[in-house]
A and B are shown apart, each in its own frame.
Chain A
Amino acid sequence: MRTSRNLIYKRILGEVEKEVQLHPNYADLQNQFALLLMVKGEMEKARDHFLEALRLNPKYREAILNLGFLYLEMRRWKEAEEIFLPEAKQYPKDGFIHHVLGILYLRAGKQKEAAAQIYKSIRYHPFYRDYYKKKGVWRKGMIHLDQKAERALKEIHLNFHYAQFQNFIGLYLAQKGKFTQAIHELRKAARLKPDEFIFHANLGTVHTYRGAYLKAIQEFQKALKIDPCYGMGYANLSYVYGLMCRTREALRCMKKAVRMSPQHADLHYNLALLYSDRKRYEEAAFELKRALRINPNYLFARINLGVLYEDQKRWKEARREYRKILQITPDDEHIRKRLERIS
């Protein structure tokens, strides 16, 4: 495999292998290691590690899909089908899964089934309509699977796991603080699979680390265009606006993030900060209480709520919150002083 010649990939493979030996019960490590092995061409070994990842966490979707692609690559059509068919049933509107099933059937010589799956992918995702049009498979509302189209499509499924691989390498480099190289790898991932929101979201995150805020905003917006329900995308966008001191936009995005992911206590906390900064105290208190309903031990939400009550001269409520905080952190001198002042 050409990538195995690349020093950086070899080093990462070595480091991940060591981590797997240290923490064999981490499903994500097993999945990452298997992905690296797969790209290196060590298919059987990769299979063992994907299976180990799934033994540790049977619902680990990324590992399930990666194993499916491995079987596809190994021309084990039946095992691949056993993975992708239930996925298509569980996510009937996931155009990509239908696309993969189409390729699988095409490679297995089942033209009729392939056409049915390709039709579904076109129906559920506009990206694939354009894609198949470009490849000459979708013409005048009909699917045409001639030899030329087949040749063009056969190798395309590889993009998925290469994209996953590039994404992993990108994130790995970002963790090591090598942001420029990380962006290079993540861009490759996004080019290989442009409809994958997480690649754009990761690019946005790394641009944020680097301080390239405008580029970060662009990438988060791309991610949100692909998946408008991606709550954390709005939250990340809000943080970028925060870094740029554009708190009006930050508030707008954080509101959306909370609407999309109401179960995240931290998002309510951040929304409360934005309201509090604008002196919208009632709304801030409401969000802090929501955060505390989700996680009653959310210490910072309680501190902010206590201070908010104090600012509003609601001494009794402020004292109640401060006492609860001191039960959790008896050494907190800031809170002790605040409590003494209003007692």
Chain B
Amino acid sequence: MLKEDFVIQSNIRRMLIRTSIDCSRIDFGTVKGVVYIRGIFQISNPPADGDEVKTVHLTIHALYSLEKKVKSIPGVVDVNFQFFNWRKERGHWVPVDVREKEGEDENKPESNL
């Protein structure tokens, strides 16, 4: 039997808070087991030395980890990421120029964490 959307939603909320993701600019929803995650994706603990390469590496790692964790929640049938600053292309996460997409963020509701 499929897990209920509210149960999935509660699990995602808890999972997001427990990860190293800055949740303040992320929003999510669940429809019939399909999870939508949207917003600006950032890690909450970037390297103290400000090394950009390291930050990108850690962010990519966090993205794959998030994907894996969401998919492992019982009842989740699919995940739809709609990040303004990261996009998945041919199975790989790539950064997107935020300036060209940030205007779209005006549609983001308050964070539901």
A residues bordering B, Cβ < 8 Å?
175, 177, 208-209, 239-240, 242-243, 245, 247, 250, 265-266, 269-270, 273-274, 276-277, 295, 297-301, 303-304, 307, 328-329, 331-332, 334
Do the beta carbons of A243 and B14 come within 8 Å of each other? yes
- Majority secondary structure, B binding face: mixed
Do the beta carbons of A270 and B109 come within 8 Å of each other? no
Give Cα A244 to B79, complex, Å. Answer: 22
Give Cα A152 to B67, complex, Å. Answer: 56
Beyond A297-B109, A299-B108, A329-B104, 12 extra complex contacts between A and B, CB < 8 Å: A177-B18, A209-B18, A242-B9, A265-B109, A269-B29, A270-B6, A273-B30, A295-B110, A298-B109, A299-B36, A299-B38, A332-B80
Do the beta carbons of B109 and A334 come within 8 Å of each other? no
Which 9 residue pairs across A and B have the least CB separation, nearest first?
A: A300-B29, A242-B10, A277-B4, A266-B112, A273-B6, A297-B107, A298-B109, A273-B5, A239-B10
Give Cα A300 to B27, complex, Å. Answer: 9
User: 0/1 per residue, B76-90, Cβ < 8 Å to A?
Assistant: 001010100000000
B14 CB to nearest A CB, Å: 6
B94 within 8 A of A: no
Do the beta carbons of A274 and B36 come within 8 Å of each other? no
B70 CB to nearest A CB, Å: 15
Do the beta carbons of A245 and B7 come within 8 Å of each other? yes
Residues of A close to B29: CB separation below 8 A: 269, 299-301, 303-304
User: 0/1 per residue, B1-44, Cβ < 8 Å to A?
Assistant: 00111110111011001100000000111111010101000001
B residues bordering A, Cβ < 8 Å?
3-7, 9-11, 13-14, 17-18, 27-32, 34, 36, 38, 44, 78, 80, 82, 104, 106-110, 112
A183 CB to nearest B CB, Å: 15
Residues of B close to A250: CB separation below 8 A: 6, 10
A204 CB to nearest B CB, Å: 13
> CB < 8 Å: which of A208, A242, A329 contacts B7?
A242
> CB < 8 Å: which of B7, B104, B108 contacts A243?
B7
Residues of A close to B36: CB separation below 8 A: 299-300, 303
Residues of A close to B17: CB separation below 8 A: 209
Do the beta carbons of B109 and A208 come within 8 Å of each other? no
Give Cα A59 to B56, complex, Å. Answer: 39
Residues of A close to B104: CB separation below 8 A: 328-329
Give Cα A329 to B82, complex, Å. Answer: 8
Q: Which A residue's beta carbon lies closest to that of B4? A: A277
Residues of B close to A307: CB separation below 8 A: 31-32
Q: Which A residue's beta carbon lies closest to that of B35? A: A300
A118 CB to nearest B CB, Å: 41
Q: Which B residue's beta carbon lies closest to that of A174? A: B17
Give Cα A177 to B82, complex, Å. Answer: 26
Do the beta carbons of A295 and B34 come within 8 Å of each other? no
Residues of A close to B6: CB separation below 8 A: 242, 247, 250, 270, 273-274, 277
Residues of B close to A208: CB separation below 8 A: 14
The verdict on A247 contacting B7 (CB below 8 Å), with A265-B109, A299-B38 known, is yes
Give Cα A300 to B17, complex, Å. Answer: 20
Give Cα A276 to B3, complex, Å. Answer: 12
The verdict on A243 contacting B82 (CB below 8 Å), with A269-B29, A269-B112 known, is no
A283 CB to nearest B CB, Å: 13
Interface CB pairs A-B, < 8 A, 21: A208-B14, A209-B14, A239-B13, A239-B14, A240-B10, A242-B7, A242-B11, A245-B3, A247-B4, A265-B110, A266-B112, A273-B9, A273-B30, A297-B106, A300-B28, A304-B29, A304-B31, A329-B38, A329-B104, A331-B82, A334-B78
